[in-house]
Amino acid sequence: MSAVRTYLDYNATSPLRPDAREAMLRALDAFGNASSVHAEGRRARAMIEAARGEVAALAGAASRDVTFTSGATEAANWVLSQPWRTVLVSAVEHPAVMVPAQRSGARVEVIPVDRSGRIDPDRLSVLIDGALGSDGESAADSVLVAVQHANNETGVVQPIAEITALAHERGVRVMVDAVQTAGRVALNQRGHAIDFMVLSSHKIGGPQGAGALVMHEAAKLDPLIAGGGQERGLRAGTENVAAIAGFGAAAAASRRDLGRTEHLAGLRNTLEAALMHATPDLAVIGSDTERLCNTSLVALPGAAAETAVIALDLAGVAASAGAACSSGKTNRSPVLAAMGIGDDIARCAVRFSIGWATTEEDISRCISAWQRVDRIRSGVREVA
Ligand code: PLP
């Protein structure tokens, strides 16, 4: 295996940012319980509140609207555990949203996407009106629209402002999974009055096992985890101060890095152009619509994704065959199926996702490693 590693799998998880690591180390030494009134407790509390402010700033929200959780999955489960009658969920949702929606007991209506992976707002209007039925606005409280801001596999960005506006016109609440847009797109939870916004620490360079639900002040939820009065009685359990502090520091750094999105898009575009030059029959999925600056999902016909990812790994490049959360499974990606992408392309889809530490050298190494993927389909045996 090559000694120099090139990590291009930021949509699965990001390397820990130095700022986050330092904040975590400081917090590990501040051992107090944040609920205690003594100096040790107050020190831990101050770290949590500073982190809350940073996460709120990243989300475009007020500090009081941020509740810390163990991750985005818990935040989404919390929202979906409420007694909704109907949940409208997009066909390209992450399992963190899709599975709790299906288990919620609510009627689940799937919002289709077009070939680019985008939700058609007119189609959503019809579905919302159908869910409200003859009860109209009086049923609005029992209906939830759950959509992601951007897709983890394709990077395709949804028209969130439009979707939220049309749901609100009918009095219906909206949950936005902003896990993949945080730090890549300026978020505006307040401005769009997004009722529930789901965030994850480890996708932005914070530690794994932390996240947040950002809740518009008008939105009231019953706790998912009951017990002590932590997080204003909304999420019980002694806070994971180090993880929260790391999340806060990562949020601050990610907000600063919003000015680097064009640079990231440039690196991603250089990579795609070089891969297309090397293998002109390459399919670049989602390139005909608005995409995250850091994501490239490509398929080389005849080169199975699992084999391609192994070949890249042997050349020192970490990429992903579809979503990391589904890795190990060889099932067809439901996201690509919803976009109407055929099996021949879907089974060859390899995702490169770059981030805060990606360099031009990383991109060059990936371009060189791509030769190995091209060789898979011509049957040339790989030599590790
Ligand atoms: N939503 C999206 C779009 C994701 O990509 C992920 C992680 O893969 C999640 C939710 C779940 O986040 P967490 O790992 O914090 O539970």
The amino acid present at 71, given as its one-letter code, is: G
CA of 204 to the centre of ligand 1 (A): 11
| CA-closest residue to ligand 1 atom 5 | 152
Percentage helix, strand, coil, to 5, in the chain? 45, 15, 40
Please state the φ and ψ torsions of residue 177, each to the nearest 5 degrees.
Answer: -85, 100
Q: What is the pLDDT along the chain (384 residues), one digit of tens a residue?
A: 447 999 999 999 999 999 999 999 999 998 999 999 999 999 999 999 999 999 999 999 999 999 999 999 999 999 999 999 999 999 999 999 999 999 999 999 999 999 999 999 999 999 999 999 877 777 898 999 999 999 999 999 999 999 999 999 999 999 999 999 999 999 999 999 999 999 999 999 999 999 999 998 777 799 999 999 999 999 999 999 999 999 999 999 999 999 999 999 999 999 999 999 999 999 999 999 999 999 999 999 999 999 999 999 999 999 999 644 444 555 679 999 999 999 999 999 999 999 999 999 999 999 999 999 999 886 654 444
The amino acid present at 106, given as its one-letter code, is: A
Token match 């940073």: residue?
54
Return the active site residues. 325
Name every protein residue with a CB atom under 6 angstroms from any ligand 1 atom: 71-73, 94, 96, 148, 152, 177, 179-180, 200, 211, 325
Neighbouring residues of 325: CB distance < 8 A, sequence distance ≥ 6: 12, 94, 95, 96, 152
Ligand 1 nearest-atom number relative to CA 73: 16
Cβ atoms of residues 175 and 79 within 8 Å: yes
DSSP string, 271-283: HHHHHHHHSTT-E
Pocket test for ligand 1, best of 73, 176, 327 (most atoms within 8 A of CB): 73
Task: Name which of 150, 178, 117, 152 is nearest 9 in CA terms.
Answer: 152
DSSP string, 51-82: HHHHHHHHHT--GGGEEEES-HHHHHHHHHTS
CA of 206 to the centre of ligand 1 (A): 13
End-to-end CA gap in the chain: 7
CA of 379 to the centre of ligand 1 (A): 36
DSSP, res 150: B
